[in-house]
Amino acid sequence: MANTEEGGDLYPYRVRWSQWQNPRMWHNNDDGSGLSGYIDVDDTEGRIIAIKRLGDVLYVYKERSIISITYTGGEDTTFSKEVVTTKAGLIAPEAIVELPHMHLFVGQDNVYIFDGNTCTPIGDPVKDWVY
């Protein structure tokens, strides 16, 4: 889940996951077991627009950036994060298409393809048609 509200407070930069094989339990058990948790993707400004998977990595699309979240295991650091780009972000939740090896999405200023490493504008003819 993203953009959570917890205890009456809004967290527009938080990604939270439930316990392993227990999607109704969003907090750990009293003994600390359960491995539910969260990671704050507040390295860049803006709220989370969408989260999409590409291979084994989750990509968090924010308004002006993309952040990768990778499973690392362990009890304290279940997931790690890394800023992929601050040069492009997603304009709206439905403005992205998942293709087998890339994402095609509409940003604030262009249309992009993203292969998990590189975010590339797809060209002026498409940009001119969209904008």
Report the pLDDT value the prediction gives residue 114, as an integer from 0 to 100: 96
pLDDT tens digits for range 12-67:
899 988 887 788 887 777 776 777 788 899 999 989 999 999 999 999 999 999 99
Sort 32 into a burial class: Cβ within 10 Å, 0-12 / 13-18 / 19+.
exposed
Report the pLDDT value the prediction gives residue 107, as an integer from 0 to 100: 93
**Which residue do the tokens 């904008």 mark?**
131
Q: Domain limits of the chain?
A: 2-130
Whether 88 shows a pLDDT value over 90: the answer reads yes
Distances in Å between the alpha carbon of 26 and those of 16, 69, 72, 77? 8, 18, 19, 16
pTM value is 0.85
